[in-house]
Copies of this chain bind each other. A is one copy, B any other.
Amino acid sequence: MESKLLNEKFSRRDLIKGTAGAAGIAALAMGGLGFFSKAEAAKTSPATLPWPYKKFTAAEIKQAGDIAHDNWFKGFCSYATLSGIVEMLRKKVGEPYTSFPMELTTFAHGGTSGWGATCGTLIGAGVASTLVAGPKIGEAINNEVINYYANTSLPVFVPSHPKADIKSQNISNSPVCHLSVGKWMKKEGVGFLSPQQMERCARVSSDMAMKTLELLNLWADGKFEAKTTAPVMANEIPSQNNCTECHGNDIPKTSGKFGTGMDLLKGGH
């Protein structure tokens, strides 16, 4: 298994267009185990990804943003982002999107069933990019979307039908709901489930749907580049990049580059 992993890790790099980022490499490494290649070979059933895609115009991307915003008030953030994309794909492509149960990540709101971890918009976004581009590219796109989420002053989108006026934008430095919404609420001076917080999270849902579609458009044109090193590769453990925010200056050392697992990645034992 290890040697197959090693062999395919490099030879299949070109499956990610442009510079293969670490997320891509990690995905490719797992592809070497036979999973991704199988999933993306035959296309006889909706069980097989990727599904068909038609590029969105700028107006259609904005339309997806407005649907996401409106749908936040029907099913919160993860549903909003996913359904903003899927409702448009139902119109533009039809099946298999028409039969797709787009409520399936609704639970991911509030950082997964209210536990404050991954922002639900990023789960909805990742499902959408995976359906359209398959698990490998879908993850590389999701990694870029998360990087955008963590490093952009959000929300950006101004919806056609806002439900509240908000005045603040904020950089979260994190994909974590608790940190992202908490910092924004503090800046805006409002509490959780205030009209302002709900409007903000609805707009962030739109932003993530729209960024995902922009990257899917690039991918459809063969121009998507995986530019961001996934923190799991950069920090030798799944992580955010804002280590000091929780750890202060006492950041634990990892056991080295992937610890004892480095042997496995090298093909050794």
Residues of A within 8 A of B (CB): 1, 22-23, 26, 30, 33-36, 39, 45-49, 51, 73-76, 79, 96, 98-108, 110-119, 122-123, 126-127, 129-131, 134-135, 138-139, 142-143, 146, 175-178, 181-182, 185-186, 190-198, 230-233, 236-240, 245-246, 252, 254-256, 258-262, 264-265
Chain B residue contacts of A112, Cβ below 8 A: 118, 122-123, 126, 142, 146, 175
CB distance from A133 to the nearest CB of B (A): 10
Residue of A192, A194, A198 contacting most chain B CB atoms (<10 Å): A192
In whole angstroms, what is the CA distance A255 to B186 when docked?
Answer: 9
In the assembled complex, the Cα of A114 lies from the Cα of B239 at a distance in Å of: 7
Residues of B within 8 A of A115 (CB): 118, 143, 146, 175, 230-232, 238-240
Residue of B nearest to A260 (CB): B194
- The answer to whether residues A127 and B104 also contact, given A178-B240, A259-B190, A260-B190 and a CB cut-off of 8 A, is yes
Which residue of B35, B119, B130 is within 8 Å of A107 (Cβ)? Answer: B130
User: Using Cβ atoms and an 8 Å threshold, which residues of chain B touch A99?
Assistant: 45-47, 96, 99
Which residues on B sit within 8 Å (CB–CB) of A122? 112
A-B complex: 8 closest residue pairs judged by Cβ atoms: A191-B259, A193-B261, A114-B232, A191-B255, A114-B230, A116-B238, A117-B118, A107-B139
On whether the beta carbons of B198 and A261 are closer than 8 Å, the reply is: yes
Q: A74-B35, A240-B115 are in contact. Are A49 and B103 (CB under 8 A)?
A: yes
